[in-house]
Each structure stands twice: as C-alpha cells, then as structure tokens.
Homo-oligomer: A and B are copies of this chain.
Amino acid sequence: MDFACLEHMRVRNPLVHSITNTVAAHFTANGLLAAGASPIMGNEPDEMADMAAVCEALLINIGTLEQSTIAAMFAAGKAANARGIPVVLDPVGVAATPLRRETVARLLEEIKFAAIRGNAAEIGFIAGEAWQGKGVDAGQGAANAAQIAASVAQKYQCVVAVSGETDYVSDGQSTFTVKNNTPLFPKITASGCLLGAVIAAFLASEQGDDLAAVTAACTFYAVAGETAAQGLDERQSGTFGVKLIDSLAMISAQDLTAKARVEAV
C-alpha cells in the first residue's frame, strides 16, 4: 500500500469543517492541526452554506445532538454535496435513542456521504436497519464486521470504516483490514471522533480513490496510536491523549510503510 497520501494531505493542509459533539471539539481541532490539516468548527445553520464555500471536507458527528445542530448538519451536508466536497458521517451511539436513530436515517437519506465511520455496534445497527428493509435479520450479519462494512458501503455507495481492535474498511467491493492498534484507544474519549475528522482530511486530499484514502487514514491513525502508547501502562490514558497528538505530527509516510499491517480481506 502507498502512503504518499499522508504527504499529499500535509501539503494540501485541507480546511476541514467539523460539526461535532461538545466533548470532542477541542481534541478534534488539536488532532487535525497535528496531523497536518486545518480545523474549523461551527454549528449555526445560517452559516453552513458559507462554510462549505471555503472548506474542503465536512465531518458530521452526532455525539451530542441539539435541534439547532441537526438543522446545521442538513444545511452543511447539502451545501457540501452541491459543491462536491467529501462528507463523513460518524453515527456516535446511533442505537441509543430514537432522536439519534431518526437523525441518522434522515442524514443517510438526504446527504451523500463519502465515508461512514463507527464502531461495530454503530455500523452494525445501520446495517441492521438496511437489512430489515430487505427482510434480512440484522443479528446474522453482526457476527462479521467485514460483511457489515461491505453491506453498509453497498447500500449507501460509500466507504465504510468499522473501528475496533481490527479496523475494517470497505467500499462494498473490496475490504481491507488494519491490524495496527493499541488498547489505549478505547480508554480515551473522542478517539473515534478524531479519526472521523482525519478521514475527512484524507478524503479532501486524495479525491478519486476514496477506499485508499480512508484505509490510509485509519492506518495512519492506528500507527500514531501504537507509537503514542509505547512504554505506557494501559491505565495511563491521560498521558496517552497528549502523546497521541504528538504522534499525529510525527508519523511520516515512511513510518507507515514500515509499520502498517494492512491486508485485503
């Protein structure tokens, strides 16, 4: 696999608009800066079309929904679609409440996403909804993250990344696994949220092969996490959060080539 796209992203330094949850906002902005992108935040519906005019990618993360933020998500997503800017969906805790379920269902109906990123439960829930529509039992497929990723990717014609001990990235035709990882990732909040933003930055910089861009983003992030965790106890999540930001700036394309554990399924 070719990781030159990391360098492309850093050269391009894309401006990524994140509509994200209040918990993840600061960490996401610092992580994007460290990785080599430029962050901009904003949730005001009136401003969304104008933001799309200056940004190169959009992240929609539903971690802390409010009615006005939901309106902003639709306004921003439609404006980004109209301009051909890649849009990433992070359906945080989608199964937890009807508001989250309905918002994600409507987003998937009205916005064209370039990528969806979530954990196995979140993507599995979306897969289940898709399958129920076809009379298929969600439970069956939940056993296999690769199938779930491919199924959601086919349904929504986009790239899907399922994050976990192993990441699965699929465009519905081809699926890759990324086995770089650290048990410290689930110990910090917003680690998945930041990955969603990093995926958006890669998509902004590598238009044409979205599967390669998302796989590279997941690999870059996982290798940065592995590197940050070196020498740390699994309980040092505070220190890990700080070192992860450092690592996002330090990892090079050569490091990725040396350390990546990516395979086609």
Contact = CB atoms under 8 A, between A and B. Distances in A.
A47 B103 CA distance: 12
Contacts of A66: 43-44, 68
Contacts of A189: 26, 29-30, 33, 39
B47 A100 contact: yes
A253 interface: no
Contact of A29 (B23, B46, B65, B246): B23
Contacts of A8: none
Given A93-B40, A96-B54, A188 B30 contact: yes
Interface residues of A, number: 52
A33 B246 contact: no
B47 A65 contact: yes
A81 to B, nearest CB: 19
Given A21-B41, A96-B50, A245 B237 contact: yes
Contact of A190 (B29, B51, B97, B238): B29
A12 interface: no
B50 A64 contact: no
A39 B39 CA distance: 25
A188 B96 contact: no
A44 B34 CA distance: 32
A187 interface: yes
Contact of A235 (B21, B47, B246): B246
A24 interface: yes
Nearest to A95: B54
Nearest to A99: B47
Interface of A: 21-27, 29-30, 33-34, 39-44, 46-47, 50-51, 54, 63-68, 93, 96-100, 187-190, 233, 235-239, 241-246, 249-250
22 contacts: A23-B39, A26-B27, A26-B190, A29-B189, A30-B237, A33-B188, A33-B237, A34-B187, A34-B235, A39-B189, A41-B63, A42-B65, A44-B65, A44-B99, A46-B99, A50-B96, A50-B97, A50-B99, A233-B250, A237-B245, A237-B249, A238-B243
